[in-house]
Amino acid sequence: MSKHLVVGAGPVGSTTARLLAERGEEVVVVTRTAAATHPLDGVRRLHLDAADTDALSAAAAGAAAVYNCANPPYHRWAEVWPPLAASLLTAAERTGAVLATVSNLYGYGAVDGPMRPDSPLRPNSVKGGVRAAMWREALAAHRAGRVRATEVRGSDYLGPGVTGVFDGRALGRALAGRTVQVIGDPDAPHSWTAPEDTARLLVTAATEGRAWGCAWHVPSNPPRSQRQVVADLCAVAGRPAPKVTAIPRPVLALLGLVNPTVRAVRETAYQFERPFVIDDTATREAFGLAPVEWERIVADLLP
């Protein structure tokens, strides 16, 4: 039995902790607030600010791996992520724990084809720049022999209680047969990732030495447009698919004036205006992992 420190208790962090606990590992989940934790049998909870390097290093002492599943407020990434990422990297270096980070596809920027782990990092947004910098720093430390690091990258999440750009209001409107408005082109192909698949790959990458020093893409189902996701959801519910339209950019801009999260979404709206597709071939071939069935993912979205 080894000790594992999971930072963050959102959908991925909680699932990661559960998977590790089911293996009989010693699991400690770190969160900033008690409200952020989820009840998990066999998991110890520790409330501290992970940006406090000394406190985090003390918590990570003796750990085989530190899992970065943190999820700062979307509109505050540029402010919150740098010190938090630096603290996680330092804690891993001090303790000798593997650093396994959950990331996304923002660092690739706007691309013309499927994104692979070896695709160049060319961010075209502030958020993408933040995520790219985090990996470059971790990779540099890994190559210098200071730490063992790996990163898993998924697309927008869909799963129980996690709907990505489809909030509860949009799903409710879809099931009621009312028009659903979405960001970008409703028909642009888009990859979706299940938090469960992210957690499974994260644990695999953290515990298998051949995964270290590399980024890996989370196994995900074939891309589905936002219109197709809505249609699939309604089909599972036995209801007709409603009309799906794009939110006009001027409206999105106005909403951003009063809602910081919507304002933050505007810089990454390009991901829904063109194909945004993940290539997970390398992960499937290396670890034999496959995504949760699409039908189950969609069914789990139902209230």
Tens-place pLDDT, residues 209-264 = 999 999 999 999 999 999 999 999 999 999 999 999 998 888 877 777 777 777 77
Q: Kindly tell me the burial class for residue 291, based on how many C-beta atoms sit within 10 Å of its own C-beta (0-12, 13-18, 19 or more).
A: buried
Return the minimum-mean-pLDDT range out of 73-77, 142-146, 264-268, 298-302: 264-268
For the chain, the straight-line distance linking the first and the last C-alpha, in angstroms and rounded, comes to 38
SS3 for 160-184 is CCECCCCCHHHHHHHHCCCCEEECC
pLDDT grade for 111, boundaries at 50, 70 and 90: very high
15-61 pLDDT, tens digit each? 999 999 999 999 999 998 764 445 677 799 999 999 999 999 999 99
Angle between helix 226-237 and helix 168-175 axes, rounded to 10 deg: 60
174-208 in b/e form (b: 16+ CB < 10 A) is: bbeeeebbbbbbbebbbbbbbbbbbbbbbbbbbbe
Residue 169: Cβ within 10 Å count: 11
Residue, of 290 and 161, whose pLDDT is higher = 290
CA 113 vs. chain centroid, Å, equals 21
Which pTM was predicted?
0.94
Q: Where are the domains of the chain?
A: 3-156+193-217, 159-190+222-277+293-299
Residue, of 122 and 42, whose pLDDT is higher = 122
> What is the CATH T-level fold of the domain 3-156+193-217, as seen in this structure?
Rossmann fold (3.40.50)
Residue 232: Cβ within 10 Å count: 18
pLDDT for 163 = 64
Encoded tokens for 16: 């990661």
Cβ–Cβ under 8 Å, residues 31 and 8: yes
171's CB contacts (< 8 A; 6+ apart) are 163, 233, 301, 303
CA 43, CA 200: separation in Å to the nearest integer? 17
User: Shortest CA distance to 192 belongs to which of 162, 214, 213, 212?
Assistant: 162
Cβ–Cβ under 8 Å, residues 247 and 183: yes
Cβ–Cβ under 8 Å, residues 65 and 5: yes
Q: Residue 234: how many CA atoms within 13 Å on its side-chain side?
A: 23
Amino acid type, 300 = D
The architecture of the domain spanning 159-190+222-277+293-299 is: Alpha-Beta Complex (3.90)
Residue that the structure tokens 């106005």 belong to: 254
Q: Kindly tell me the burial class for residue 282, based on how many C-beta atoms sit within 10 Å of its own C-beta (0-12, 13-18, 19 or more).
A: middle
Encoded tokens for 8: 């963050």
User: What's the CA angle centered on 274, arms 154 and 102, to 5 degrees?
Assistant: 15
